[in-house]
Amino acid sequence: MKKDHDKKDCKCSHSISRRGFLTMIGSGAMAVAVSGSLAAETTEDAEVMNPEEMTRLTLLINSHRRRLLVEPRWSLLYVLRERLGMTETKVGCERGECGACTVLIDNIPRYSCLTLAVEAEGSQIITLEGLMKGEELGPVQQAFLEKDAFQCGYCTPGQIMAVEGLLIANPNPSPEEIRRGVSGNLCRCGSYANIFKAAKYASELKRANGGAE
């Protein structure tokens, strides 16, 4: 008898009425509706700016401040060439594969085609023009000239900037470190042997000048 009574109590404590079930489902639906509404509000609040809306921007390029209006979607490559007329930075693949558009951002080689202009605000940008002192070539430029490290010359600005960044980080790189340092820059003419020689010679020129550019 005791067992049957216990079973009956157990059944009652875990059972749920039809009305209770419907109430529970209704509460869950209400919670989902409220959470969906909150999510929609959060998404609306986090809406990004219109890519075609012009924004004011100040870029520090080759130690000069340049103030201009840009669209947030414009790449640094586009701004340098089309808005500022700095055409030494070349247009290549425009998808981060060839390295022709390489510039230095805070002394680190970066593909300007994959960098938004607005991302570069507040950083120091150096282009090929910034390596010269007046009409005098910088050490890396001089080394490329003396070692004949180019043929068509289209990739040369990017190659020079990659080597410049490498030598800032490592003033005396080994041959293997040089190969790795320029591995992100493609030369369709296949002048790699002379590019490697130029990079080594540039490191010697820089050290001879006390590391000065």
Per-residue pLDDT of the chain (213 residues; tens, 9 = 90+): 444 544 444 444 445 565 554 455 555 544 444 445 545 555 455 556 666 789 999 999 999 999 999 999 999 999 999 999 999 999 999 999 999 999 999 999 999 999 999 999 999 999 999 999 999 999 999 999 999 999 999 999 999 999 999 999 999 999 999 999 999 999 999 999 999 999 999 999 999 987 655
In words, the CATH class of domain 133-213 is mainly alpha
Domain ranges of the chain: 2-45, 49-131, 133-213
pTM equals 0.75
Give the integer Cα–Cα distance in Å for 166 and 154.
Answer: 20
Please tell me the CATH code under which domain 49-131 is placed.
Answer: 3.10.20.30
